[in-house]
Amino acid sequence: MRKKKWLLIVILIILLINALLIFIPKIFNVNQIVEDRLKSEVNKYLDAELFFDKINVTSKFIQFSNPKLIEKENNFSISAEQFYIRFNFWKLIFTGFNFQSSIKKIRCFSPVVELKLSPSEEGTSLDLQNIETQLQRFSQLSIINGEFELESKNNHLRFKEKLENINITFTSDKNKYNLEFTAYKPDNKGFIKITRDYYEDKENLSELSLQNFHLPNVKTPTLEIKDGKVESDIKIRSEKKIDGEFSLNNLDLLLENNNIHSDSIRLQINKNTGYFLENSKLNWDNISLTLSGKIKDVVSYSPYIDADFHSNPIQLNKFFEPISGKLTLKGNIAQSISDLRIKHQFEIPELVYQNLEFNNINYSGI
């Protein structure tokens, strides 16, 4: 008889809890409480304003219709059709509406993110370790059919890039997580895929794949990238254990008012240093330059080029018909990609002009 009473009491408690979960949001107008708290935290920590058409709070999830977040200086904004958060209701209540600690799953439908880099942000890098730590708070995150636009209008770096049909899935379980990111460029101008498998007790693996990925137009004080297409397959196990292949095809750029073209530049990457492969060439003013050497920190925000180049013998009458002879052009490209410097040297074993002959002429400059 006692067992039946205890069973009845347990059933009544469960029913009472369910009733509370159903009616508490209505009794206490949780919709308004959550809305006020969210807007306050966004304004405080992000210096931004949050808008949405409708919010629906139940005992298990929060759903936003047409949310939009705009940074006050208008350098960052994000909007979406639907934003869905699944959470632990009691944890939310008893932590004083601490959203971060109570969220379990997030789903975002058709988000549009616009980011304009300020001069102070252009030289900074992402804290990937901190991002990993924050992501592991959630058991699941999904972004479906998103768009991302990144723009810099600073005089030292000007470019605009857009990705669409972005899909991101993230799942976390105890000491491991898996991330997959895929996106396309508009007008079939490229595909990117990033995957990461993280394990606390063994080696991690990240992979980066770029297919037919057209470069944006990029301008710096000394360099303008007009066009180019990237293919890559890179595996990353740590900051130093980065290996794979990379090719840059149909490159057109303007370097200190010199037009440069390349049909193909190929790199073999070992320990995050890319080594130029055979037949990696640049064409400058109809002169073919063969590249050798390396690029340090290939997968980074500021790759460092340390490459040599040399030309085949060039007929001098190409530049001035009365002169006969040949010259060889050699040089070195050294510096970060945003501040290139080229050291060059001309070697002319013999030059003949109007019966005058000159031997072993050398010239070097920057």
Give the pLDDT confidence of 75-130 residue by residue, as tens digits.
Answer: 888 899 998 888 776 666 666 666 666 777 889 999 999 988 876 555 555 556 66
State residue 95's pLDDT score: 64
DSSP structure class, residue 351: E
Please check whether residue 169 is in contact with residue 196, taking contact to mean a CB–CB distance below 8 angstroms. no
Query: Under 8 Å CB-to-CB from 358, ≥6 apart: which residues?
Result: 348, 350, 351, 352
Question: Rounded to whole angstroms, what are the CA distances from 300 to 180, 183, 191, 303?
Answer: 20, 20, 20, 6
pLDDT in tens, 165-217: 999 999 887 778 888 999 999 999 999 999 988 877 777 888 999 999 999 99
Q: CA-CA distance, 275 to 293, in Å (whole number)?
A: 6
Which regions of 124-280 does DSSP assign to beta strands (E)?
140-154, 157-173, 176-184, 191-199, 205-214, 218-219, 223-236, 242-255, 258-270, 273-276
Q: CA-CA distance, 105 to 128, in Å (whole number)?
A: 21
Residue 181 or 300, more confident: 181
Bridge partners of 305?
A: 295, 335
Core vs surface per residue 140-155: b (16+ CB within 10 A) or e: ebebbebbbeeebeee
The sign of the CA dihedral 94, 95, 101, 103 is positive
Stretch 288-313: mean pLDDT:
82
Query: Largest Cα–Cα distance of the chain, in whole Å?
Result: 126
Q: For the chain, what percent of residues have pLDDT higher than 90? A: 24
Lowest mean pLDDT among 9-13, 234-238, 279-283: 9-13
> Please, what is the average pLDDT of the chain?
78
Please check whether residue 21 is in contact with residue 59, taking contact to mean a CB–CB distance below 8 angstroms. yes
Helices (H), 53-103: 89-94, 99-102
DSSP structure class, residue 166: E
State residue 71's pLDDT score: 82
Residue 137 or 179, more confident: 179
Residue 116 or 355, more confident: 116
Global pTM reads 0.76
State residue 354's pLDDT score: 67
State residue 112's pLDDT score: 94
Residue 306 or 129, more confident: 306
Q: CA-CA distance, 363 to 348, in Å (whole number)?
A: 9
Residue 3 reports pLDDT greater than 50: no
- Report the chain's C-alpha Rg in angstroms: 29
What SS3 class is residue 120? coil
Please check whether residue 228 is in contact with residue 216, taking contact to mean a CB–CB distance below 8 angstroms. no
